Structure 1
Amino acid sequence: MVICDVPRPRNANATRQAILQAARERFCSESYDDVGMRDIARDVGVDAALISRYFGSKEDLFVAVLDSCKNGRDLMDGPREDFGQRLAREIVYGEAAACAPDDGSGRMRGLLILLRSIGSSKAMDVVQHTTNSRFFEPLTQWIGGEDAPVRARLAAGLIMGMAISRELSDGFSNLDEAQKASLAGRMADALQGLVDG
């Protein structure tokens, strides 16, 4: 996976951003343990020592990647009354691809990175802390109300479960369009019900 085929001018900020983008793509498609600093360096066309100079350890790079992704608050962007529909369409149809560039799409990218790396003992502390601060807490605050923590966990479980299901079934390729529409509709109703209480 080569990010750039043309020589890049010497620009520390541009090189740092290219490393971050390559690392995002790697962590989005591979687990934490499977991503190597040398692989990222090769993707960008730099020496692995440069990555260490800019970011420190692999764990520090992982944290920087998560910080560069949109956080859980972005899932709540838009009218509250169509939250379920927006998220269901994004998950079922991939209307904002999980690893898309930061152009307003890709709101699920950080979540996908967390899910891919949750099995890593090295990444587990980062994943647990990041999941709470970037996903559960913002969702709980946005839902509001006395039982918001319970509704937020149920909604998060549905979102994460369906995101995993999408990955395991290659974008729900085994469903026809009518089945996808039914899946999106049922998921939208369930999510909206949890948000509305």
Structure 2
Amino acid sequence: MTTAYADERGPGAGRRDAEATRTAIVKATRHLLARHAHGDITLKAVADRAGVSPPLILKYFGNKDALFSSVMNFEADVESFLDAPLDDLGRHMVRHVLTGQAERGADPILRIVFAPLHGEQGEILRANFRSQVSGRLAARLRGPDAGLRAELAVSMLLGLGVMYGIARGPHVRTADIDDVVNRYAPAVQDALGVRGTVRPAAAQRH
């Protein structure tokens, strides 16, 4: 029956299954990295969260270090993080951090907060964050001090994420997300040095 089922799925099914398995393993690893030190995360923990066996992780990635090196980057996350026009980017990034925390329990960008816990892997995380997040944001900004403006804006977003997801500030966590966006986004937009979109008062909660 297994062979017949495999035949029915067609020749591309095995590759799709492999891609789905790799994706599940990567997502599980990223989830754990946002909550625990690199040295405290076992292959079994990753396997349990991904719904696979530890040997299957070794099959796809070779060893634990190779697995963690493959997820110590932000390329897959920065696309959505920066996916807005410059004049609305502050609002977009603030909402991105808040909804990531509220809906998924952690925003992938906040993995940088745990870099000191990850030893040598933490250095990879830091370098990738500088080039793939703050560096990429700086490349979008015009005028002088683009790097400084980008780092200041990202610092504000990390602070908000830490207060929401790590310090678990009760007022931030229970506030309406639109309200927090309206209060916080203008400061982030100002740090970017880009004039923000002027929104009518009635539209600011949407």
Alignment TM-score, normalising by the size of structure 2: 0.71
How far apart, in 2, do the equivalents of 1:26 and 1:76 lie? 24
* Structure index of larger Rg: 2
Give the paired residue count. Answer: 179
Structure with more of its chain in helix, by fraction: 2
Q: Which string of whole-angstrom CA distances, capped at 9 and with x for unpartnered residues, describes residues 62-85 of structure 1? A: 232245763434322122211112
RMSD: 3.1
Aligned to 1:95: 99
Q: 2:46 aligns with which of 36, 40, 44?
A: 40
SS at the partner of 2:76?
Answer: coil
Higher RCO structure, 1 or 2 (CA under 8 Å, sep 6+): 1
Q: Would the aligned equivalents of 2:115 and 2:123 in 1 still touch at CA under 8 Å?
A: no
Gaps of 5+ in 1: 1-8, 101-105
Q: 2:182 aligns with which of 182, 185, 194?
A: 185
Aligned to 2:61: 55
How far apart, in 2, do the equivalents of 1:83 and 1:123 lie? 30
Larger deviation: 134-143 or 36-45?
Answer: 36-45
How far apart, in 2, do the equivalents of 1:174 and 1:55 lie? 42
SS at the partner of 1:29?
Answer: coil
Overall identity of the aligned pairs, in %: 24
Cα pair distance change 1:16/1:136, threshold 3 Å = same
Aligned to 1:135: 133
Aligned to 2:198: none
Alignment TM-score, normalising by the size of structure 1: 0.74
Q: Which string of whole-angstrom CA distances, capped at 9 and with x for unpartnered residues, describes residues 112-159 of structure 1? A: 222234332132221122112211210110113221011111112111
Gaps of 5+ in 2: 1-12, 195-206
Q: Which string of whole-angstrom CA distances, capped at 9 and with x for unpartnered residues, describes residues 86-122 of structure 1? A: 222333xx3244774xxxxx8x41x122223433213
How far apart, in 2, do the equivalents of 1:47 and 1:177 lie? 40
Matching residue's letter, 1:156: V
Q: Does 1:15 align with 2:12?
A: no
